């Protein structure tokens, strides 16, 4: 997962970025409101409110006007009014300093689970004759409903959101199993094998050696 960390205090930003990288996240830093608004799109934003060239709430508003990117406000401002305004402007969560890295990572994963399909709620995902409906948590192939376990469905949905694109193992572990520990990635292979059997053609899910998997119609 790619994270934009918007924090001007280097004594806070540097160890926080290092901790997130150790947990498998990719981190881009911005120290000003202008840099945050000009940064390339990422998967999630950690946003401080006290910035040298503006208020983080204005950054939150600007990001939300153009994107559905998940935003977690990370600040020393713990007043209820700030929390309410931040959430009303479109932030997905609000965490007050000081906090532990474990808590922050838990918040990141919780927000990611809630928002990862925000842009896909207009209808089922379709890949050839395969249809995946995340609202009803059902999948059909050529009109026949597939009998999937919850984790098999989550894995199939994660691949179906961007058909043809390679989804790396770390991202699958984060989205489906809520972990970044690559030592457990063998469980992905077990579930991929089960999905291939249920899809009745192993070519639906292609293994990209050393990276991950991609879904495409055979």
- What is the DSSP track for 104-161? HHHHHHHHHHHHTTGGGTTS-EEETTEEEETTTTEEEETTEEP---HHHHHHHHHHHT
Q: Are residues 8 and 106 in the same domain?
A: yes
pLDDT tens-place string over residues 76-135: 887 888 888 888 888 989 999 988 998 998 888 888 877 765 554 457 888 999 999 988
Of 74, 91, 115, the residue at which a domain comes to its end is: 115
- Give CA torsion, residues 208, 211, 217, 218, to 10 deg: 10
Residues 187 and 125 in one domain: yes
Q: How many domains does the chain have?
A: 2
Q: Does residue 133 sit in the same domain as residue 64? A: no
- The DSSP letter of residue 76 is S
pLDDT tens digits for range 16-47:
999 999 888 889 999 999 999 999 989 899 99
CATH number at residue 34: 3.40.50.2300
Based on the domain organization, do 14 and 105 belong to the same domain?
Answer: yes
Domain range spanning residue 198?
Answer: 120-215
Question: In terms of domains, do 88 and 152 share one?
Answer: no
State whether 25 and 97 are in the same domain: yes
Distance from C-alpha of 40 to C-alpha of 113, rounded to nearest angstrom: 22
Q: Are residues 20 and 88 in the same domain?
A: yes
Map residue 195 onto helix, strand or coil.
Answer: helix
């Amino acid at each position: 997962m790619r994270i934009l960390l918007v924090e001007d205090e280097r004594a806070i930003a540097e160890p926080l970025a290092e901790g997130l990288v150790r947990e498998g996240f990719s981190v881009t830093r911005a120290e000003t409101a202008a840099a945050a608004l000009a940064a390339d799109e990422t998967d999630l934003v950690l946003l401080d409110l006290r910035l040298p060239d503006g208020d983080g709430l204005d950054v939150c508003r600007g990001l939300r006007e153009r994107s559905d990117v998940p935003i977690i406000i990370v600040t020393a401002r713990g007043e209820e009014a700030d929390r309410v305004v931040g959430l009303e402007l479109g932030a997905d969560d609000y965490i007050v300093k000081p906090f532990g890295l474990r808590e922050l990572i838990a918040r990141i994963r919780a927000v990611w689970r809630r928002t990862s399909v925000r842009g896909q709620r207009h209808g089922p995902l379709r890949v050839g004759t395969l249809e995946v409906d995340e609202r009803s948590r059902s999948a059909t192939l050529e009109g026949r409903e597939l009998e999937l376990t919850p984790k098999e469905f989550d894995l199939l949905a994660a691949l179906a959101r961007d058909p043809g694109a390679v989804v790396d193992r770390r991202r699958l572990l984060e989205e489906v199993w809520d972990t970044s520990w690559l030592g457990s990635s063998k469980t992905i292979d077990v579930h991929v094998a089960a999905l291939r059997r249920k899809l009745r053609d192993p070519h639906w899910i292609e293994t990209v050696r050393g990276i991950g998997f991609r879904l495409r119609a055979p």
